[in-house]
Chain A
């Protein structure tokens, strides 16, 4: 089995969810979180398919249908900037420019040290504090240049 997660860890996650087909989304989300690279490797997907007695294509259908999944490795922290209209009119574009400069990457890319991936996302339900970005399950709002710099530094040191 490749890199971060071994066979036993995957089996443990599957069994924690009752080894049921209905648990597919939860299982894949947990595997992705445990991977530390925010993705689901092909081998892990195959193992899930085998354990749940599903065709691999079904597992891939789910992996590629839902926006939260990735089949390719991403940074340890995925920074998602909301581009839905309430944030857009609160100048989320400029937030992306600041982040691109701060991280030295373009939107969609991962930093060389594999720490950060910068992505767009749609509404995270925090329109009252737009413009917002989300890192993991934490949402940060009313963003300014200083706030963003402090935030990135805090994650770099974490």
Chain B
């Protein structure tokens, strides 16, 4: 039996992305029509029953977030879609934005209806310029057909969606930084509290959800929260888009129900298809650069929020980067850390300096100049970064390093003794010997 369950990606590749007509024929906008017959609180009750956890990576319960905003009496309220997908190994929002934009739009309209909001913003990363155009066409067509704009479907409810572009800053994926960027400022995160539900975009109450979360809303509204939940496990509702990259034989985006195992995701012939070239799996990196790494012994862990967390792993953004035996763990982590050096906004010292110091030590190790107390120094840095960074970026930047130290300590130690077990690193001493 196929392990793939398509609730939010079934139109991908099957319809013209910006065609309202084709979207409606495929069952589109049924969720919205049903929502219009429901009270806002009832819709939120369904989102809660669905146990939808934020699909951007933070896994915050969407129902609680919505409830909080509903209770805020101030207006106007804004609906914001976070489409600043920049997490390495993550390309699922791109699939939805380019292939199912109308589903994302439908989810945003339902949110607008729930909060009696008239304006939504979708912040799409600058690198997805072509997708911004597709999305605009989808918006235009939705307006022409009466699903968006003034007096939607003959009701008194009016809602518009505006596209805002990013310009290359990973930290804008952090919701408060994203709002600053929409306002035309540098995308640095804001201090919290106040919560964005209280003081958000243009200082007004704001809902920020990820693309995949919004795409899920019409499904939940249409089939009901309980039914949606039943596709997954009892605490991780529904399905998740996972992104396979690296040395997986079949790289790509797959929609899977929560509860199948990591082994299914990496090895099922319909999903990852095993390791490319028939090689052996060495480790995998889940949920993005700030996510934990795991090893083959953990392959039978069910892919759901609770089981992964118990195993020291995480769903995060849905990224599954697969590494075969040719990859050197220390070199890999150098890449991860270099990424965070580039993407740190520089506002706080633990993140700005911590990543640079980590990188220096890892470089020392891969060049054969590591010192015996370097591993201890790494632990110290991880501790400070995790506990004292200003925002989630710095707090989680060292998670990959910390989990790899758990499973591959001997590989770090080998580097200190001038050996790269993967045979990837070229040490200074070897270069000397060649001279």
Chain B residues with CB under 8 Å of A83's CB are 335, 338
Q: A22-B184, A85-B285 are in contact. Are A128 and B88 (CB under 8 A)?
A: no
Query: Does B126 belong to the interface (CB within 8 Å)?
Result: yes
CA distance A61 to B342 in the complex (A): 16
Q: Please pick, from A20, A62, A89, A126, the residue contacting B246 in the complex, using a CB distance under 8 A.
A: A89
Tell me, yes or no, whether A28 is within 8 Å of chain B by CB: yes
* One of A22, A85, A137 near B88 (C-beta < 8 A): A85
Q: Which of B128, B181, B186, B321 contacts A125 (CB 8 A)?
A: B128
Complex Cα gap A68–B342 (Å): 13
Q: Is B165 an interface residue (CB 8 A)?
A: yes
Interface membership of B170, Cβ < 8 A: yes
B183 touching A66, Cβ below 8 Å:
no
The smallest C-beta distance from B55 to any residue of chain A, in angstroms, reads 15
User: B84-112 vs A: 1/0 string, CB under 8 Å?
Assistant: 01111111011000000000000000000
Is there an interface contact between A29 and B88, defined as CB atoms closer than 8 Å? no
Q: In the docked arrangement, what's the CA distance between A137 and B134, Å?
A: 13
Known: A85-B289, A89-B323. A127 touches B184 (CB 8 A): no
Chain B 166-216 residues near chain A, CB threshold 8 A: 166-170, 181-188
Nearest-Cβ distance from residue A38 to partner chain B, whole angstroms: 13
How far is A4 from B125 in the complex, measured between Cα atoms in Å?
27
Asked if A125 and B167 sit within 8 Å, CB to CB, the answer is no
Q: How close is A109's CB to chain B, nearest CB, in angstroms?
A: 19
Chain B: which residue is nearest A137 at the CB level? B129
Cβ contacts A90-121/B at 8 Å (1 or 0 each): 10000000000000000000000000000000
Given contacts A22-B184, A84-B89, contact A125 B289 (CB under 8 A): no
Interface class of chain B by DSSP: mixed
Q: What is the number of contacts between chain A and chain B, taking CB atoms within 8 Å?
A: 128
Say whether A123 faces chain B, with CB atoms less than 8 Å apart.
yes
- In this assembly, does A86 line the interface, its C-beta being within 8 Å of a C-beta of chain B? yes
Given the known A-B contacts A65-B186, A89-B246, A130-B245, are A122 and B167 also in contact in the complex, defined by CB atoms under 8 Å? no
Task: Please determine whether B339 and A28 come into contact, CB atoms closer than 8 angstroms.
Answer: no
Which chain B positions have C-beta within 8 A of A41?
none
Contacting pair B186 A62 (CB below 8 A): yes
Q: Does A14 interact with chain B (Cβ within 8 Å)?
A: no
Cα(A29)–Cα(B327), bound, Å: 38
- B138 interface hit (Cβ, 8 Å): no
State whether the Cβ of A46 lies closer than 8 Å to any Cβ in chain B.
no
**C-alpha spacing A66/B335, complex, angstroms:** 20
Q: Which residues of B contact A128 (CB under 8 A)?
A: 91, 243-245, 251-253
Q: A21-B184, A85-B321, A85-B335 are in contact. Are A126 and B126 (CB under 8 A)?
A: no
* B118-146 interface code vs A (CB 8 A; 1 in, 0 out): 00000001111110000000000000000
Interface residues of A (CB under 8 A from B): 20-26, 28-29, 58, 61-62, 65-69, 83-86, 88-90, 122-130, 134, 137
Task: Please name 30 pairs of A and B residues whose Cβ atoms are closer than 8 Å in the assembled complex, sorted by A.
Answer: A22-B164, A25-B181, A25-B184, A26-B164, A26-B165, A29-B167, A62-B185, A66-B126, A68-B127, A68-B168, A69-B167, A84-B89, A85-B246, A85-B321, A85-B332, A86-B88, A86-B89, A86-B321, A88-B335, A89-B332, A122-B88, A123-B87, A125-B93, A125-B127, A126-B91, A127-B88, A127-B89, A127-B251, A128-B245, A137-B129
Interface residues, chain B, with chain A CB atoms under 8 Å away: 85-91, 93-94, 125-130, 164-170, 181-188, 243-247, 251-253, 285, 289, 321, 323, 327, 332, 335-336, 338-339, 342-343, 345
Q: Closest 7 CB pairs between A and B?
A: A67-B168, A127-B245, A84-B88, A66-B167, A68-B168, A24-B184, A123-B88
